[in-house]
Each structure stands twice: as C-alpha cells, then as structure tokens.
Amino acid sequence: MIRIAVVALSLLAALVPARAQERIGVVASFSILGDFVRSVGGERVAVTTLVGPTGDVHVYTPSPRDAKQIADARLVVVNGLGLEGWLPRLVQSSGGKATIVTVTKGIKTRDADKDGEPHGHDHGDEHTDPHAWQSVPNAKIYVANIRDALIAADPAGEASYKANAAAYLAKLDALDREVREQVAKIPAGARKVISTHDAFGYFADAYGISFIAPLGVSTESEVSARDVARIIKQIRAAKIPAVFLENISDPRLIQRIAAETGARIGGTLYSDSLTAENGDAPTYIDMVRHNIRTLTSALGH
C-alpha cells in the first residue's frame, strides 16, 4: 500500500510541471540574454531582464527594484567583458546570494580596436569588445553556458534544459547558415558599412562584412569632430554605399554623416537590444534575421 502511494506520488511529480512559485528565479542583465535564458529555461524558469527592450546596457542606471530582483534571484546571468560596468555594485548592494553566470566564458574575445584606428576617447578598461553575441556561433556558446548553469542550479530540470537547449541550438545552426547564404548575395566589394558604435566586430569577423563606427565599443563616449571627419574620409575613399542607424543610439550623427557623404541610410540595425513584442526584433533570432535582411537589401543587388 505504501509502495503504491510512493509510486503514485512520484508519477504525480513527473506529470505536474513546476508551479509558478517553484520556478527558478533568473535575472538577466539585458534583453538578449533574457531571451536566451527563456529559450533554455522554458517553464521551469522565471526570467527578469534588467535592461529591457531598446534600453542601452552600456550606460544603465539601476533602480532599487533591480537590487530587490537580484536579491531574490537564484542566478544572475551577465555578458561580462566589461559590458555591464554598473552591475558589480548592484550585486553587492543587493546583498543576495545569487550565483553570477558569465555567459561569454570560453569565447575567443576580440580586441576593441583591432580593425580601426585608436579612438582616443575610449575609457582605459575597454580593451575587449563585449558584443560577442553578434556572431551566431558565439551565441551557441552563450546558450551552452546558460544550460549548464541552469542544470547546476536545478538538477531536477536537467532533461528539460538539455532538450530545450538542443532544440534552440539547432535553430541557431539554421540561422547561422541563413546569414552566410545572405552575405553571399552581397557583392564582395560592397561588404562594408557604417554603423553608430562598434557593436558588430564579432559579426564582421564571423561573416566577412566590415563595419566602421564613429563611436567605440561603448556608447558612453562622445564623438569628436575628428572622428566624424575620419569616417567621412573613409566613406569617400572606400566608396561605402550605406550607413545604418542603431536602435539604441541617437540617429542624428548617422543622419549628418549620410548628408555630408551622400551615402544612403540603409535602415536600422539592432545591436545591443531587442525590441518589444510588436517590434522588428522581439527575439535574438528575429534580431539577427532583421539585421542580415537590412544589410542585404541595402548592399545587395
């Protein structure tokens, strides 16, 4: 009789999904990481994102509510590589016991100024480009790190996390192929563009499109007249056909550069943030797809 009761109970446990109050609380520093955590965590995880859609993760000012959310969380998922400079103080002030998960662990990082001239106005600690998610192969490393962190925090969910991650990784493989196919449609000589800040270095390295940006890897700094003059010279010398706006940045700089050079404004690229549900890029996959289509339609034939 007791044995039957135990079997019945364990059957029940297997059938009933984790109830809301039993979900693993995870805080993600910005919207793209929040999307990854949701994709891998599924029903078992309650995700909160600190820097929401169209927010700028480089220059965020945390609120007391953010500290409360971190205090209550089991995991705090961060990009690292100097992206969330405001985060260590927030975690400290929250007094919580959350495990910090740095999802860029294992990624081959790139130097912030590898391809451009030194910007001069960059802050001293910005030697590494933090925008690793812009390469889909890197996003796969993010997802694997998130999967492993969720399993460590919630071993009972291992099978679920593994299945969700495998399904999502397969989608990312398809996305990576799609990006490569789209880039192949752009004539080799036209694979160069201007964007506002240096957010596409990993994308450039992975897919062979050059990006030049008046701002460095952070949106924090001001653009000098010298930087703008340099960009205008580069656009003319390299006959760069199109410049692109970014969802997180002030459009006026790019509009001015377009006006002075005659380069077309090719559209808006999503660099560091997703959009709200009804926008062009509510998920990471939508974002990458939107960006490559925007680039192809501006640069392709």
- Beta strands across the sheet bearing 192-194: 210-212, 192-194, 242-246, 264-269
| Total site size for Zn ion, rule CB under 5 A | 2
User: CB 174 → Zn ion: shortest distance, Å?
Assistant: 26
Question: Could you give the string, one character per residue 168-207, with x where binding to Zn ion holds by CB under 5 A and - elsewhere?
Answer: -------------------------------x--------
d(C-alpha 26, C-alpha 37), whole Å: 8
The smaller minimum CB distance to Zn ion, of residues 199 and 253, is found at: 199
The smaller minimum CB distance to Zn ion, of residues 45 and 212, is found at: 212
The smaller minimum CB distance to Zn ion, of residues 126 and 272, is found at: 272
- Residues sharing a CB contact under 8 Å with residue 213, sequence separation 6 or more, in sequence order: 116, 194, 195, 196, 197, 198, 199, 200
Rg (CA), the chain: 21
Among positions 272, 281, 291, 294, the unique one binding Zn ion when judged by CB under 5 A: 272
The 3-state DSSP class for residue 176 equals helix
User: CB 199 → Zn ion: shortest distance, Å?
Assistant: 4
Q: Does 91 bind Zn ion (CB under 5 A)?
A: no
User: CB 249 → Zn ion: shortest distance, Å?
Assistant: 9
Cβ distance 146 to 161 under 8 Å? no
The smaller minimum CB distance to Zn ion, of residues 154 and 272, is found at: 272
Please classify residue 168 by burial: count the beta carbons closer than 10 Å to its beta carbon, then call 0-12 exposed, 13-18 middle and 19+ buried. buried
User: CB 78 → Zn ion: shortest distance, Å?
Assistant: 14
The smaller minimum CB distance to Zn ion, of residues 59 and 276, is found at: 59
User: CB 58 → Zn ion: shortest distance, Å?
Assistant: 5
Residues of the shown chain interacting with Zn ion in the complex, contacts defined by CB under 5 A: 199, 272
